Structure 1
Amino acid sequence: MTVTHTSAPAVKGPSDGDRPPGRSRLLAGIGGQNISLVGALIVVLALFGFLNDNYLSLSNMQVIAEAATITGLLAVVQTVVIICGGLDISVGSQVGVASVVSAMVFTSTGANTLAGAAAAIGVGLLVGVVNGVVIVYGRVNPTIATLAGLAAYKGLAQLLSDGRAQGYVLNDDTFVFLGRGKIAGLPVMVWILVVAALTVHLLLKHTDIGRNLYAIGGNDTAARLAGININKYLVFVYALIGVVAAVAGILLTARTGSGQPTSGSEGLELKAITAAALGGCALKGGKGGIGGTLLAVALLGALENGLTVQGINTFWQNVAQGALLVIAVVIQQRRSGERAVGLPH
């Protein structure tokens, strides 16, 4: 059964005579949130381009794109889980587990790339299903369940690797191609993000599955009464997160040359959630899109790279990410018209 988006009441379109002019329709289609992100991105690029002549160079733009790929993959699937009213704080630790497993299996099987990648994806799928089952059938709040997963999977990665980088994969052509190769002038990692983002966008916007996910996040009671199997959808979403996190872990291994239990994956959950929130996802569910999330990923990547190029202490990057997340949530609250906590109506 197909269920329409229930996060907001349907609005009748204007008649031809009342239709806004072409530019207004274009702006409405892009969305105010995305226009703000484009404006902020232009400001960041212009500011750091003015401060450093090499910042806007093609080589540095590629560095920004490559660095943002792993965050982008996680932000895309984080968008999906937030749309359906959930959250996954454990994605960074999942990337670490997948990275370690991919390198260790690759090494132990005599440099078998396929075996390493398959093992990582299998572990990612298992971890994602475990998260989904705990949340759905254990009736545990998603934030608490995945917060526990954040600690557990980080510990698992450290146990498997003894807390050290594992293996060496840069003697393998496939890993080198994934981490450093290019297609049509763009890094392979960027193409992987583009394909993943486009696939998820089509899933959300043009399939019954996507419409049902929006319905679950908008009003889960109505969705259940409409016959949607919410439990099945939630387990599917968390399994999807596990698989994509595993792909991100494989790319991290390819980029760094070895399996990384924590380096390169720690803090990714904050970046992914921040990008999704900045991109317009309502943290209560039922609203969001991949386009806004990708713009937010680009903004975060440009800001992080600019601060690094200017030699600013990396700790300030964490401060900036936290501040942006708060700003995004405040903007959402203002737009929704909800009263502030503790204040009268």
Structure 2
Amino acid sequence: MKKILGILSLLVFVFVATSFLSDVFLDSYNLENLLRRTALFGIISIGVAFVIITGGIDLSIGSVVCLVGCALPWMLTEQGVSVPVALAVIIAFSLAVGFIHGILITKVKLQPFVVTLCGLLLYRGITRGFTGDQSQGFGTDYKGLRELATGEVPIFGFDLPMPCIFLLVVAVLAGIFLNKTIYGRYLLALGNNEEAARFSGINVDRMVILAYVICALCSGLGGLLFVLDVNSAQPVDFGNFYELYAIAAAVLGGCSLRGGVGTIIGVVIGTALMQVLRNMIVLVDWIPTHIEYAIIGAVILAGVVADELLKKAVARRQASQS
């Protein structure tokens, strides 16, 4: 809870500071766009949080977003596939990606870093291959489908972007799963101590596979909504570095890269903070726009250092009490 309050306080501080530094920050258009981006990145951040909680990592998120984001318009506009079939293919692909990652990690005993790094290269390469490295989009068609990402829901006089509804549903389901089900407790136990979890009767391999399946599903949903929102996807750079935004948001939100710690609400707040920081960089004139990735790197480094210091402080306290 202290971590959540800390990151929430930082979010409020950055939000207020940006509102003073920029005249257009509080404009309704900018706030709606900020909410939309927060929701889109929040979905993939929740996915990677499950993997991080188990002590793993997924570097292929951006490439999965790219493949899904390019494959959907490619199937609909160039191959003549119906919408239900195309969506079914997207879901099946996402499930397959997560399952294959989990199998390679648990059964073949490969490191998550290696498996997902190969996935990062493989999925983008496949995308550039079947699209001929050409941009994909819906043009003026499929407006009804695109409403899933571009639509708005009026709430108390404010138009809430549709992706926020998706984020709310994903966050609630993820929160219930992680905190109110036995499988969520299994994931947390696995992240804390894999050997102890195994000896206590938990099917560790199955839980690791489940975590990567959840992450891939969230990445697939994110890729779907991203391309429906922007209506254009270039295989060479669509989804680039999205995995870093997701990991940074999860770490900011209290997920320990050692595993065993993390909350869904913390991840959502961490995502919001990352997007407000990005927005501040764009809107405030005296902040160089090209330092965005430096901020992401600093955030991840700060999270890792804080986690290490906290672990040492807890260890010293326990040693002194004993």
TM-score (normalizing by structure 1):
0.85
**Cα distance, 1:338–1:134 mapped onto 2, change above 3 Å:** farther
Equivalents in 2 of 1:272, 1:170: separation in Å? 31
Q: Determine which of 12, 33, 37 is the counterpart of 2:7.
A: 37
Corresponding letter in the other structure for 1:91: I
How far residue 179 of structure 1 moved from its aligned partner, in angstroms, is 2.3
Equivalents in 2 of 1:232, 1:207: separation in Å? 15
1:103–1:169 Cα contact (<8 Å) kept: no
Among the aligned pairs, what percent are the same residue? 29
Q: What is the Cα-based RMSD across aligned positions, in Å?
A: 1.7
More deviation, 254-263/89-98: 254-263
The CA deviation string for residues 295-317 of structure 1, in whole angstroms up to 9 with x for no partner, is 11000000101111225443211
1:95 maps to 2:65: yes
Task: Return the structure number with greater helix share.
Answer: 2
Which residue does the alignment assign to 1:317?
Answer: 292
After the TM superposition, which residues 35-184 of structure 1 pair with which residues of structure 2 at under 5 Å, given as runs?
35-108=5-78, 110=80, 112-168=82-138, 170-184=140-154
Corresponding letter in the other structure for 2:6: S
How far residue 241 of structure 1 moved from its aligned partner, in angstroms, is 1.5
Which residue does the alignment assign to 1:332?
Answer: 307
Equivalents in 1 of 2:284, 2:140: separation in Å? 30
**Cα distance, 1:140–1:338 mapped onto 2, change above 3 Å:** farther
2:46–2:218 Cα contact (<8 Å) kept: no
Q: Determine which of 306, 312, 316 is the counterpart of 2:280.
A: 306
The CA deviation string for residues 157-211 of structure 1, in whole angstroms up to 9 with x for no partner, is 1112222212425421333211210123211111101110111010000001101
Q: Determine which of 186, 189, 192 is the counterpart of 2:166.
A: 192
Corresponding letter in the other structure for 1:54: V
**Cα distance, 1:98–1:119 mapped onto 2, change above 3 Å:** same
1:109–1:115 Cα contact (<8 Å) kept: no
Three-state SS of the structure 2 residue aligned to 1:294 is: helix
After the TM superposition, which residues 245-324 of structure 1 pair with which residues of structure 2 at under 5 Å, given as runs?
245-311=219-285, 312-324=287-299
Equivalents in 2 of 1:32, 1:255: separation in Å? 35
Corresponding letter in the other structure for 1:132: G
Which residue does the alignment assign to 2:193?
Answer: 219
Corresponding letter in the other structure for 2:77: T
2:50–2:214 Cα contact (<8 Å) kept: no
The CA deviation string for residues 238-262 of structure 1, in whole angstroms up to 9 with x for no partner, is 1222222111111111012134424
1:170–1:176 Cα contact (<8 Å) kept: no
The CA deviation string for residues 265-300 of structure 1, in whole angstroms up to 9 with x for no partner, is 101111111111111111111111111111110000
Corresponding letter in the other structure for 1:279: G
Equivalents in 2 of 1:182, 1:159: separation in Å? 35
Corresponding letter in the other structure for 1:310: V
What is the number of equivalent residue pairs in this alignment?
309
Corresponding letter in the other structure for 1:41: L
How far residue 226 of structure 1 moved from its aligned partner, in angstroms, is 1.4
Equivalents in 1 of 2:271, 2:66: separation in Å? 20
Corresponding letter in the other structure for 2:52: I
Q: Determine which of 197, 210, 231 is the counterpart of 1:236.
A: 210
Which residue does the alignment assign to 2:317?
Answer: none
More deviation, 113-122/210-219: 113-122
Corresponding letter in the other structure for 1:52: S
- Gapped runs of 5+ residues in structure 2? 315-322
Structure 1 runs (4+) deviating above 6 angstroms are: none
Three-state SS of the structure 1 residue aligned to 2:133 is: coil
1:170–1:257 Cα contact (<8 Å) kept: no
Which residue does the alignment assign to 1:26?
Answer: none
Equivalents in 1 of 2:201, 2:181: separation in Å? 17
How far residue 116 of structure 1 moved from its aligned partner, in angstroms, is 2.2
